[in-house]
Amino acid sequence: MAYAPDQMARLRAALAGVEPLVEKRMMGGACLMWGQHMLCGADVPNDGMPRFMFRVGPAGMDAALAMPGTSRMEMGGRAMTGYVFAVAAALDDAALRAMLDLARSFVATLGDKPPRKPRRRPVKPG
């Protein structure tokens, strides 16, 4: 997978005014975090067809899979519940906004994450 700058630009433009958004590189592509939670992302898989990823939650799966060019997200042969991929070329601006609305509706239901415990480094003998 590779970074998809054109698709990330489309996501940022469609989410203009939505705060706080933070872009993070992960899983070979990039994701947009809304608050503390992953909202969406984009990458270019080995087939060369740029795609989006949306976190729509279990209840949003049916609506998301009814959109053009969408499929369940699989990573390492494992289905990721509540996440979908969408072929970027299959989503016009209206469909992109609809997918982002589904994702935002779900992510808005997620509470704040508890503070992370500091990592303990092993003590070196001697």
| CATH code, domain carrying 72 | 3.90.1150.30
pLDDT tens by residue, 17-39? 888 888 999 877 899 999 889 99
Chain centroid offset of residue 52 CA: 7
Domain that holds residue 32: 5-107
Instruction: Give the strand order in the sheet containing 29-34.
Output: 21-26, 29-34, 37-43, 51-55, 78-87, 70-75
- Partner residues linked to 34 by β-bridges: 21, 37
Prior bond to 45 cis, omega within 30?
Answer: no
Query: What is the rounded distance in angstroms from the CA atom of residue 22 to the CA atom of residue 85?
Result: 20
Higher pLDDT, 45 or 3: 45
pLDDT tens by residue, 37-64? 999 999 988 888 999 999 999 999 999 9
User: Is 117 within a domain?
Assistant: no
User: Is 69 within a domain?
Assistant: yes
User: Is 60 within a domain?
Assistant: yes
Higher pLDDT, 113 or 46: 46
In 3D, which of 30, 34, 26 has the Cα closest to residue 9?
30
pLDDT tens by residue, 70-112? 999 988 889 899 999 999 999 999 999 999 999 999 999 997 7
User: Is 118 within a domain?
Assistant: no
User: Is 112 within a domain?
Assistant: no
pLDDT at 62: 96
User: Is 90 within a domain?
Assistant: yes
Query: What is the rounded distance in angstroms from the CA atom of residue 44 to the CA atom of residue 63?
Result: 24
Across the chain, the runs of DSSP E, i.e. the strands, are 21-26, 29-34, 37-43, 51-55, 70-75, 78-87
User: Is 17 within a domain?
Assistant: yes
Query: What is the rounded distance in angstroms from the CA atom of residue 106 to the CA atom of residue 126?
Result: 51
Overall number of domains in the chain: 1
User: Is 123 within a domain?
Assistant: no
